Copies of this chain bind each other. A is one copy, B any other.
């Protein structure tokens, strides 16, 4: 019996039809839960930043977050946004995409493990995977070069299923 590659994909690309309200709620709920568990404070400001990021499945830049905060109250300094982002990243509530200098909400429930990101060049939506097979392939490749992995960054640009189907190219949810 052939050994099956256990593709442990926890989440994938956001689907056209998913209930996005629930999606945002669950991001915020997970944040509450994780901060509670770790004794960290999810302040109003941090929650606001997370909400803005989770509001779409696209990656959003720090200064765009800042603009959105400005339009619903007073305009914070850039450092304020970056501090909130640092906090959210420390607690694995958001991820930074190095190839875009931008941020997405974590869709994996605050796990520490690395993830792989699929970035649609058409609609801008970002999917998050956690493929064991990819992780193992990278570990093996690194090992063969006597390299000890600390943190792999995997960001795949391409075109998502919806956009491939002649579909949206509308900016994502």
Q: A12-B144, A131-B141, A138-B116 are in contact. Are A158 and B151 (CB under 8 A)?
A: yes
Chain B min CB distance to A34 (Å): 24
Chain A residues touching B, majority SS = mixed
Within 8 A of B (CB), among A2-41: 5, 7, 9, 12-13
Report how many copies the assembly holds. 2
Give the residue of B133, B150, B161 whose beta carbon is less than 8 angstroms from that of A146. Answer: B161
- A5 to B136 Cα, complex, angstroms: 12
Give the residue of B7, B13, B141 whose beta carbon is less than 8 angstroms from that of A147. Answer: B13
Inside 8 A of A153's CB, which chain B residues have their CB? Answer: 98-99, 153-157
Inside 8 A of A159's CB, which chain B residues have their CB? Answer: 147-148, 150
- A89 to B155 Cα, complex, angstroms: 19
A positions within 8 Å CB-CB of B: 5, 7, 9, 12-13, 98-99, 116, 118, 120-121, 127, 129, 131, 133-134, 136-138, 140-142, 144-161, 164
